[in-house]
Chain A
Amino acid sequence: MDYINFFAFGIYPYLAGSVFLIGSWMRFDREQYGWTSSSSQLLSTSGVRLASNLFHIGIIGIFLGHLVGLLAPFSIWHAVSLSMLGKQYIAMYGGGFLGILCLIGGAMLWWRRVTNPRVRAAGRASDLFILTWLLLTLLLGLSTTFITAQHASHGNADTMMAMAQWAKSIVLFSPKPELIAEAELIFRLHLFFGMTVFLVFPFTRLVHIWSAPFGYLARAYQIVRTNRASAR
């Protein structure tokens, strides 16, 4: 295994993860006023509703798919009697479908960001960069589907298993880069691009993901503070 693969799949994940977590924390503490989704909907509404929904539905679905697909213990699949190959088909069709939704929405947003003069003027370079990067990552991910389909047609779920095991090895702090060092290049590129998203995350508008307003679902109707001295 060469040093590039060792770095990319043994060290880079921790680098990206550290920047992601520490960076997000620092930005949250230091730059409260920059903690925003930087929505441009105010500047131009045409087509945003459709594009944004397609993009967000797609990408949230893909994210959850990756989370579950890579990190869920194999025992769960056994318990529901889902074969590895079956799981691979679900990933292919489900992921493919969501990926295409995301791609359509993302491409629309990208086009808007480049051509709409108001959005373009107000947007920062990082906005265009991160959108482009996500789309490239997505395209790489979608193109792995064809190889996965080939594997599947041969009844082979090894690559996918290897990916999941590698992901777990990272999360469990016993990195095993060798698990995927031999995988097709396209997989490795997709992984690299994906990890880079985490690396740049704190420096972009993506931080708004942290602030998904789940709290609203369960919050009290009235939130007050007291100025009574005894309130402590």
Chain B
Amino acid sequence: MSHFLDRLKFLTKTKETFSGGHGIVTNEDRQWEDAYRHRWQHDKVIRSTHGVNCTGGCSWKIFVKNGLVSYEMQQTDYPRTREDLPDHEPRGCQRGASFSWYLYSPQRVKYPLIRGRLLDLFRAERLAGKDPVEAWAAIQADAGKRKQYTAVRGLGGFVRADWEEVKEIVAAANVHTIQKYGPDRIFGFSPIPAMSQISYASGARYLSLIGGACGSFYDWYCDLPAASPQTWGEQTDVPESADWFNSTYLIVCGSSLPTTRTPDAHFVSEVRYKGAKVISMAPDYAEYCKASDLWMPVNPGTDTAAFLAMGHVALKEFYIDNQDPYFSEYARKYTDLPVQVMLRKQGDGYVSDRCLRASDLDGALGETNNPEWKTIVYDEKSKSFVAPNGSIGFRWGEEGKWNLLPKNAATQEEIVAQLSCIDGKDDVVSVGFPHFEPGEGDLLYRNVPVRKVKLASGEEALVATVFDMQVAQYGIDRGLGGENVTSDYSDASVAYTPAWAEKVTGVKAADIERTGREFAYNASKTQGKSMVIMGAAINHWYHNDMMYRGVMNLLHLCGCVGQSGGGWAHYVGQEKLRPQAGWAPIAFALDWHRPPRHMNSTSYWYFHTDQWRYETLRPDDLTSPAGKGKYKGYSLADYNVAAVRMGWLPSAPHWNANPLDLVAEAEKAGATDEAGIAQHVIGKLKDGSLDVAFADPDNPVNWPRNLFVWRANLIGTSAKGHEYFLKHLLGAQNGVLQESGDGRENKLVKWHEEAPIAKLDLMVDVNFRLNSTGAYSDIVLPTATWYEKNDLNTTDMHPFMHPLAEAVSPAWESKSDWQIFKNIAKTFSELAEKHLGTRKDLVALPMQHDSVFEMAQPFGEVKDWSKGECDPVPGKTMPLLKVVERNFSDTYRKYIAIGPMMVNIGNGVKGLDWNTEEEYEELKVMNGEVKEPGVSQGMPSLEEDIFVCDSVMRMAPETCGEVAHKSWSALSKKTGIDHHHLYAARQEDKITFDDIKVQPRKIITAPTWSGIESETVSYTSCYTNIHEHIPFRTLTGRAHFYQDHEWMLDFGEGFCVHKPPQDMKSFSNLSPEISNSSHIKLKWITPHSKWGIHSTYQDNHRMLTLFRGGPYVWISEVDAKAAGIEDNDWVEAVNANGSTIARAVVSQRVSRGMAMMYHAQEKIVNVPGSNTTGKRGGILNSVTRVVIKPTNMIGGYVQLAYSFNYYGTVGCNRDTEVIMRKIADKDIDWLERPLTPEREAQLNPPGIGPR
């Protein structure tokens, strides 16, 4: 009762004594113990996780005490893996364990914030009697007013606002933009839905309903390995981490498992105890190198050469000197190695051209359906050329032959596809192979055995198998004579020998040779249990597809792909949105309107931030003499414009006109249907009165006007070319240290001498933290954190559905993303009623992968209608033109209900369709029906976040067994193989949100993915391609070593070839004063940090405390000494793109010639000004500029056809170089001065103009 009174009971305290009075027994009050009990008592413990960018998908216990989140701890109740495998738990890392700090931190956005000047302007217009849309229009019409708030972006000046008022401003801006410029001038960016799927879906659904465009992220982050769609027609599919444990030989390169895959790294430690060998390859002594048996220090950006040399050894020893039966069978059945390629005469020799097709041969080999899309092999049994099952021509328009069974499609007789014609050759010819290593020649001629074949046209053609050419390409001597081949590993003069590779990569030839041999030997003994784990460090280069294809070649030669414990494991920004098929209709409002607007972000930002104006790279310097070179003299931007015109890549905006007006105009001119409207548009394209927006991106008509960013840090860590974003897109203070002009020489893109600034009218950031993106936004909306909302989370590292759950209600005035966009939709609908009404919108849709339009352009020939090479035909030579009718005032009513298209049209994924009526009815009962009168009354409700979670899971095959049944049945029809056994045991399972809150639940095998969930094998990618004979979604249906598209051949990428790191000419426009200030020029490497990103952020106080408390950059001791830099000195990294200031970490870990600045270090914590730019010292991306690659723009051609986040330009940034110099402490300027009119006017660094 009272501690004090208890103390007074000293007379009765002692109950008895013992041991002669040396001990006493007391009955003292025990109330004090409660303090320790209460320490571990909580109001509740809720399961949640961390939800933007982390692939962990870790189960966390969120402890709530007195209504506040007190801390989080790893949850350990995952379902088990298997008896012979370690479990996935415990999962979680130091970053995740620090997240709860964020909820109540100073960084938390607590109220809606708005730029004070903008609010004043808006209120003044409203007071003058204008309605919100008119008020917004008035501000935009006055350049002076507009500049008042755009010029101070990034300089603070926020005031707290009221939800009603900010919603009104945002909605008014959207309405005005749609009216004046078109809905595709509204853009949204949010990354990686898998980690918080409902949050992603919120903004995407709103934008899709109003016709705005959603930007991709996987390619923009350069995490998309373009090589994966190129090789397999698959975006990315990787093994779950448990499958590492099934491997017996691992090469790890470019992916630091303990750092960035912390909760999974234990599998690598465990498999080493089992006896597996682990080889690491990295330029620095990275954390994962410590846990490997051999570290191969490699020159940054030269990994392709190392892997090709390992391939050289494997190929020579297991295919040429000896024939490994497992390898050759695998190669015949599952790769394009036996496929016949035509040779084209060039100069004295030949070069490789396109694959031979059934249509080339007499009677098309009996194929009537798509013969141009059926590739040919030579059958050893019938001694003839046959079209085997499985090529893309069998996927569309017929059923039952799209499979990888070794059969002649015409007769369905068993075949043996021949790898090499060396024993039955008609001739040996000299074939030129593109080469890019400086000083070694750009076309290396090697002898290749060929067959002669008589074409239907009567001509005779030379054909060679991919295999025979690949052997030659690897430089292996087969006794056919000729140059550029050898049988001696130590011959450094022949490309791709280990000795040659040592010269290029710095890795010892003996290490390369041994590793290549062991890798193949192990795969041979284990039937493919050799694995390569790879990631960002090799994927972020300009020629990343070459690096990856180098690895994939080795894996395919060794029969590893699709085998448990083998294959590739790509870990960077890869996600697995497991219930994708159930999620996509909600996220992109496919239940109401199809198609949605999607945009590949890399091209988007390349144009809209005007980075193209500074382009120093000339495509002509990148092409090979082996190509046809029809686009000689084109700039990178020109290539992109051509790709948009030909229907390969999307564009936002698409036209230099408002798409609503286009339809209205066409209807006025007499068009009555979609085809008529398309005809009108084609007419305008032909007469030049209409063009694609990217042909003139600087014209105000084509600017992006409204930008939503949610779940993202677009302007901060995600902005490759950060300073260009600031300068042109935002019109803010920027550090660009050059004026544009290099990009002047274009054929298709119009040049304006004056570059535009402040293109955006409005930028809205939805976030729970005020980061570098919020700092540059006009409006910041407070959202719920990962512990304050109900959402779904999945990863590819483990096979479980996982929740984010509301442990506490959203703090202060924050709301979940779903509710925020719901509210905006409501206000928008009200304003739209008066200003927009019902309009018809014209959506231009590129020819997409996994649709029949992936066969739009046969033979990989480029035919450009704008050059008069063909007619513009939608879906054939230009994008599909789709009319979508939108009643803008119904936006809210549509947002809150699952629309009728789910019943009328159904659902689908990856080219498979199924009926979803049954699930629709079930959801009416589960979620309840919408009561609000109007277009959606009586439909399943999406009003609450949990309803959305349950709807996604009910409509996805991964979480609803009945849907799995329907989707697999659709695929079985296509392949002619019964796949029923893959999901049979779980056909009646239906996973709900309540289930996964209790325990993460293992998903059901679905045709969305290429692996299976099973009691006998771990999930691994391409498993069903090999074991179920489902074709890869490529031209040949097999894994591709060879790419036969014209542009691929133009750029010398038919076969994988080593291309050195690209010189970005980062200093060419830098003032000599800066250029000469330091002779230390370093490669700019930006890996992921141990103390930030993924599950929390670097500006988290706990993270800052763990390392240096602010931005830092790692450099080697040698470079530091040469530049007079000591550990913890302030240093500046600078090039023509800008400048960044950080503290130096001088370490033996780092090799010479490179600087490492960890990704995602924030501009808002401890970043001083740069004296070079006079602005805030920048971030890792202040010195980068994004560069696009034409081969990634190819479309309308099977695996090279565009799909959102699937194929398209990637935002590479590794090839940059910087000058590194010391900044004395006394020269550090924190810029802590008030904003003066002079400072406000000085947007650019001193001496740099606005151009």
Contact = CB atoms under 8 A, between A and B. Distances in A.
Interface of A: 25, 28-29, 32-33, 220-226, 231-232
B27 A225 contact: yes
10 A-B pairs with least C-beta separation? A222-B23, A220-B24, A221-B22, A28-B4, A25-B4, A29-B2, A29-B3, A29-B4, A226-B25, A220-B23
A32 B31 CA distance: 11
A220 B21 contact: yes
Given A32-B32, A33-B35, A222-B19, A231 B25 contact: yes
A10 to B, nearest CB: 29
B26 interface: yes
Interface in B469-494: none
17 contacts: A29-B2, A29-B3, A32-B3, A220-B17, A220-B21, A220-B22, A220-B23, A222-B23, A223-B24, A224-B24, A224-B25, A225-B26, A226-B15, A226-B25, A231-B15, A231-B25, A231-B27
A32 B27 CA distance: 19
A129 to B, nearest CB: 25
Contacts of A25: 4
A70 to B, nearest CB: 26
Contacts of A29: 2-4
B27 A224 contact: no
Contacts of B21: 220
A224 B26 contact: yes
B893 to A, nearest CB: 56
A179 B828 CA distance: 84
A155 B1160 CA distance: 84
Contacts of B922: none
A27 to B, nearest CB: 10
B274 to A, nearest CB: 48
B426 interface: no
A226 B14 CA distance: 12
Contacts of B4: 25, 28-29
Given A28-B3, A32-B32, A33-B35, A221 B23 contact: yes
A137 B25 CA distance: 45
Contacts of A231: 15, 25, 27
B28 interface: yes
A231 B24 CA distance: 13
B22 A222 contact: yes
Interface in B1-17: 2-4, 7, 15, 17
A223 B23 contact: yes
A80 to B, nearest CB: 33
Contacts of A222: 19, 22-24
B672 to A, nearest CB: 79
Given A223-B23, A224-B26, 16 more contacts: A25-B4, A28-B3, A28-B4, A29-B3, A29-B4, A32-B35, A220-B17, A220-B21, A220-B22, A222-B19, A222-B23, A223-B24, A224-B23, A225-B25, A225-B27, A226-B15
Nearest to B6: A29
A224 B22 CA distance: 11
Contacts of B32: 32
Contacts of B28: 225
A171 to B, nearest CB: 21
Contacts of B7: 28
Nearest to A30: B3
Interface string B934-973: 0000000000000000000000000000000000000000
Contacts of A223: 23-24, 26
B34 to A, nearest CB: 11
A221 B35 CA distance: 26
Contacts of B24: 220, 222-224
A220 B15 CA distance: 13
Contacts of B27: 225, 231-232
Contacts of A232: 27
A29 B17 CA distance: 28
Contacts of A225: 25-28
A19 to B, nearest CB: 16
A231 B23 CA distance: 16
Nearest to B24: A220
A32 B35 CA distance: 10
A220 B22 CA distance: 5
Interface string B15-48: 1010101111111100010010000000000000
A125 B24 CA distance: 42
A231 B15 CA distance: 8
B508 to A, nearest CB: 53
Greatest chain B CB density within 10 A among A32, A220, A221, A224 is at A220
A216 to B, nearest CB: 14
Contacts of B26: 223-225
Contacts of B23: 220-224
Contacts of A28: 3-4, 7
A29 B2 CA distance: 6
B1040 to A, nearest CB: 65
A25 B17 CA distance: 30
A231 B26 CA distance: 10
Nearest to A26: B4
Contacts of A221: 22-23
Greatest chain A CB density within 10 A among B2, B25, B26 is at B25
Contacts of B22: 220-222
A167 to B, nearest CB: 26
A60 to B, nearest CB: 22
A32 to B, nearest CB: 6
Nearest to A215: B10
A29 to B, nearest CB: 5
Contacts of B19: 222
Contacts of A226: 15, 25
Contacts of A32: 3, 32, 35
A221 B21 CA distance: 9
A88 B22 CA distance: 46
A29 B28 CA distance: 15
A22 B365 CA distance: 106
B619 to A, nearest CB: 61
A232 to B, nearest CB: 8
A223 B2 CA distance: 21
B850 to A, nearest CB: 63
Nearest to B1: A29
A33 B23 CA distance: 28
Greatest chain A CB density within 10 A among B26, B28, B35 is at B26
Contacts of B3: 28-29, 32
A150 B21 CA distance: 57
A32 B32 CA distance: 8
Greatest chain A CB density within 10 A among B4, B7, B21 is at B4
Nearest to B28: A225
Contacts of A224: 23-26
Interface in B619-645: none
A221 B23 CA distance: 6
Interface in B239-273: none
A226 B15 CA distance: 10
Interface string B526-538: 0000000000000
Interface in B1087-1142: none
B1169 to A, nearest CB: 28
A157 B32 CA distance: 52
B38 to A, nearest CB: 12
Contacts of B35: 32-33
A100 B26 CA distance: 44
A33 B17 CA distance: 30
B822 to A, nearest CB: 46
Nearest to B30: A225
Nearest to B21: A220
Nearest to A35: B3
B412 to A, nearest CB: 82
A217 to B, nearest CB: 14
A226 B30 CA distance: 12
Nearest to A221: B22
A221 B17 CA distance: 11
